Structure 1
Amino acid sequence: MHAILRQACSSRSGVLLRPQLAQPRVFRAPQLSRTLVTKRYTEEHEAVEFDDATGLGVVCITDHAQSSLGDVVFVELPVVGAEVVKGEQIGAVESVKAASDIYAPVSGTIEEVNETLNDQPGLLNKSAEEKGWLCKIKLSTPDEMETLLTEEGYKATWE
């Protein structure tokens, strides 16, 4: 019996009984892309967070602005698809204390607005720079970001 097994393993017919060597696997790491997200401010208390990978800037009012306004009761948002120019009025915020216009911090096309603010304007008080974002603008001139204030420069305008 042992002789038959030895013969089968050493002969051509025994190829199926021999252990197969594992084929080498080639691992290819996914290509990584770098994304730069820049946040800049205006003296009028708007902020824009620009993602260079998408070309979109998320516009909001600053936390300082919402605290100065008090309880927000109404938000007027821009229209999706509208072309805006830096410095142009794109909306307004009304609170129990005051009303304030919102200006485009950059030029481009309004791609999306935060519809949640229509039903929950107070979201600006709870999370002005995150959940309370106003709109997303596809920047036509990304270089305009360089003309806006850094966080330190912005804080220096009201401290």
Structure 2
Amino acid sequence: MKFKCVILSSLVALPFLANAADGTATINVSADVNPSVGIVSANNTPLTDIQLAFVPGKGLQAGTEQVRLASNDATKGVDVSLANDMQLTNAADASTVKMTITLADKTLSTTATNFGKDLFAKGETSPLQLSVKPTDQTASKDLKAGHYTGTINLVLAQSAK
């Protein structure tokens, strides 16, 4: 009888042992390719999200990331602009906060800002600071509670100069 129980319990456990050795992995891979200009983090990896801190009594604090502009044409610079004005939107009530984006202390807008060819050594710039902060720091002190999100849509183009 004991022998039957041991065999039966072994047979019942067998499928679980086989499954424990099985496994799968799904890895999504993507690449955005622009053969003439680009922007990457300062260590040549993809850009990361920027998390802003909110300090009560002071408001939203600036968020920064070190980036590099890259160009395949040593005779031209890169024009950078925003596809649209940037704002954060509260998921709870759709209130918004206008944001200011700067790159290397140049305020970006929907009009192109030139980063001249002299900035590009071996096809890329030295690290530049990309910064996002509230346009009106005082107003950001009085924000309603919530989760605010937004997207910076940068437009990069090979400059004529």
- For normalisation by structure 1, the TM-score amounts to 0.32
Higher relative contact order (CA 8 A, sep 6+): 2
Highest Rg: 1 or 2?
1
- For normalisation by structure 2, the TM-score amounts to 0.31
